[in-house]
Amino acid sequence: MAHRSAADPSAAGFDPARLQRVADYARAFVDDGLMAGTDVLVARRGRLALRSTAGLADREAGMAVGEDTLWRIFSMTKPITSVAVMQLAEEGRVRLRDHLAGFIPAFSDMRVFAGGTADDPETVPADRPITIADLLTHTAGLSYGIVNQHPVDEMYRRDGLIGARSEGTLERVVDAIAGLPLRHQPGTRWSYSMATDVLGRVVEVVDGQPFADALRCRILEPLGMVDTGFSVPDENLHRFAACYQPAPGTLAPVLFDPPATSTFREPAWSSGGGGLVSSMADYHRFCRMLLAGGALDGQRILGPRTVALMMRNHLPEGADLTEVGDPLYHQGFFDGCGFGLGFAVVLDAAHGRIHATEGEASWGGMASTAFWVDPAEDLHCVFLAQLVPSSTHIRLRWDLRSLVNQAIVE
């Protein structure tokens, strides 16, 4: 296990001994045989307070987690895609209230599931068109083949719409989504979905270039995120972590996706909802940009008012995810949390019984990764791992918050 603090944690307002609990917690997943490797970073007031790596990035190759390990960040791709959409909004080329069909005609005349089965669905016309805001907030009524709660979820699976592992081009995947009914009327409920993949296609259409190129030119290169992209070139294969899944019964990690043969090496399409590979250093820079109001090292990615808008709750009637959302992980997991334009936001920590700060924005990825940015405390934390699905140890998202926040003493 490697552990370092680039600055005295006390200079960032932490008690060093209490902050060590964060590193110990991340390392314990490895020591207890529940994960192959972990990497955790905590920063506050512009200072790196903690960086701790543990275990193996590739157990079969005996490769330890390094400071430059490349990880599958899966749904932590979504906030990056959402930033690209908001850049287009700042340029006046996309508006939050714009109809999706104006950019992708296949979404005209959508229908909504009203009964029946996946084999024989009953549908009714959508009450109104899907908007860009609906997609950013996952209230469009779209679904995910990786979810198993509704007949529409089964229809997605049958069409091979299972997130980044879907087959075909971005255009084909999005057109296939448009051909299926919605789970609910647009703008009425929160349903986790491939909405951000659809947004990637919107960026592609509006920007007039492949989505991967648009993301690289708009965000990755200006921020110096040199290791983030939709593929892993041969020269970086030795840095690419393997991916594991829990063995039934023991939860011990068993190999799921070897680096050399991973579809992340050279995917058929660029998934704005879950396709990026990144490093700790790169995602650290992305979080720093958000906390700094949209700029980093002289490069302005977004205006500060845009970032603030993204971190506000945009759910219907200001409700939280439990009130208007379909359960994710388990009922009540998101008590006291709303959803902004690309990530969850804490509304009422006391209601949710969570050790967090109102206004905090966060999300995670399928390989048990997680991050949050806390504007009130000028703090961010990034946790990277390689165990799917994230629901295996879902408690870590809230445990990490408790451990980081209990270490703040000023």
pLDDT score of 329 more than 80? no
Exposed / middle / buried, residue 165 (Cβ in 10 Å: 0-12, 13-18, 19+): middle
Q: Mind listing the pLDDT tens digit for each residue in 29-63?
A: 999 999 999 999 999 999 999 999 999 999 999 99
Question: For 234-249, what is the mean pLDDT?
Answer: 97
**Mean per-residue pLDDT for 251-261?**
97
Contact 167, 157 (CB under 8 A): no
Burial-class residue 45 by CB neighbours within 10 Å (0-12, 13-18, 19+).
Answer: middle
Average pLDDT of the segment spanning 85-111: 98
pLDDT > 50? residue 101: yes
How confident is the model over 172-189, as a mean pLDDT?
97
The phi and psi torsions of 361 (rounded to 5 degrees) equal -115, 140
Q: What is the mean pLDDT of residues 179-195?
A: 97
Between CA 341 and CA 314 the distance in angstroms is: 7
Q: Grade residue 7 by pLDDT with cuts at 50, 70 and 90.
A: low
Taking the C-alpha atoms of residue 380 and residue 368, their distance in angstroms, rounded to an integer, is: 17
Peptide bond into 316 cis (omega under 30): no
Could you tell me the pLDDT band of residue 78, with boundaries at 50, 70 and 90? very high
- pLDDT on residue 389: 96
Q: How far apart are CA 396 and CA 390, in angstroms?
A: 10
Q: What percent of the chain has pLDDT over 90?
A: 93
**Percent of the chain at pLDDT above 70?**
98
Mean per-residue pLDDT, 355-369: 97
| Mean pLDDT score across all residues of the chain | 96
Mean pLDDT of 201-225: 98
Token pair, residue 365, equals 């990825």
Q: Name which of 11-25, 104-118, 159-173, 218-232 the model is least confident about.
A: 159-173
Model confidence at 6: pLDDT above 60? no
CA 403/CA 410 separation, integer angstroms: 15
Beta-strand relationship, 37-44 and 379-384: antiparallel
Cβ atoms of 49 and 3 closer than 8 Å:
no
Alpha-carbon distance 124 to 180, whole Å? 12
pLDDT of residue 326: 87
pLDDT of residue 5: 47
Average pLDDT (325-345) is: 89
pLDDT (average), residues 370-388: 98
Nearest to 190 by CA among 48, 318, 19: 318
